[in-house]
């Protein structure tokens, strides 16, 4: 941590630039589920609720994948610290199968193989795709696209 970084117990280290962007970035009104959804890894790190509980409480609309990914990507576009938090959430998962996020690459890991792999041009878009896959896997396990 250098002198330009700030430590937040629930968010980890954020650079002064990230803080300035987060404070000045205009918040586009979105559906009520959007903010609780994108904060899931922060809340999960707190240790009081499971991912199932957090995703269930957020209750995201998974009926239109494109709309979902666009809304989430727009929210994450100027919040690189939150994107990193989702990356950490993915890396720390203790499951033998499920969605993964690795930089700009997203997919499913099952039976020792990576499947349905996609590469995105931006980290925040990959993150939004991962969040959709994770929400769908947790909330609608038989509906995976």
Q: What is the pLDDT of residue 28?
A: 55
Averages of pLDDT over each 10 residues, the chain, 145 residues: 34 44 56 96 91 97 97 97 97 90 95 92 98 96 66
Q: What is the pLDDT of residue 89?
A: 96
Q: State the DSSP code for 95.
A: -
pTM score: 0.78
**What distance lies between CA 33 and its chain's CA centroid?**
13
Q: 126 to each of 25, 106, 138, 144, how far by Cα in Å?
A: 20, 6, 18, 17
Q: Which residues, 6 or more positions from 39, have their beta carbon under 8 angstroms from its beta carbon?
A: 82
The CA distance from 114 to 38, in Å, is 25
Q: What is the pLDDT of residue 87?
A: 97
Domain ranges of the chain: 28-139
Q: Which residues, 6 or more positions from 104, have their beta carbon under 8 angstroms from its beta carbon?
A: 119, 120, 121, 122, 123, 125, 126
Q: Which residues, 6 or more positions from 10, have their beta carbon under 8 angstroms from its beta carbon?
A: 42, 45, 46
Q: What is the pLDDT of residue 23?
A: 46
**Do residues 84 and 127 lie in contact, with contact meaning Cβ atoms separated by under 8 Å?**
no
Q: What is the pLDDT of residue 142?
A: 76
**Do residues 139 and 56 lie in contact, with contact meaning Cβ atoms separated by under 8 Å?**
yes
108 DSSP β-pair partners: 99, 115
**What distance lies between CA 18 and its chain's CA centroid?**
17
């Amino acid at each position: 941590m250098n002198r330009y970084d700030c430590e937040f117990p629930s968010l980890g280290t954020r650079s002064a630039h990230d803080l300035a962007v987060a404070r000045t970035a205009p918040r586009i009104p979105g559906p009520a589920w959007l903010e609780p959804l994108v904060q899931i890894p922060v809340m999960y790190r707190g240790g009081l609720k499971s991912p199932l509980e957090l995703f269930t409480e957020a209750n995201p609309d998974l009926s239109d994948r494109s709309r979902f990914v666009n809304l989430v990507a727009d929210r994450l576009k100027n919040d690189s610290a939150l994107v990193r938090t989702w990356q950490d959430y993915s890396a720390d998962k203790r499951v033998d199968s499920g969605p993964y996020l690795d930089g700009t690459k997203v997919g499913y890991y099952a039976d020792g193989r990576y499947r349905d792999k996609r590469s995105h041009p931006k980290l925040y878009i990959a993150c939004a795709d991962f969040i959709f896959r994770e929400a769908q896997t947790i909330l609608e396990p038989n509906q995976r696209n």
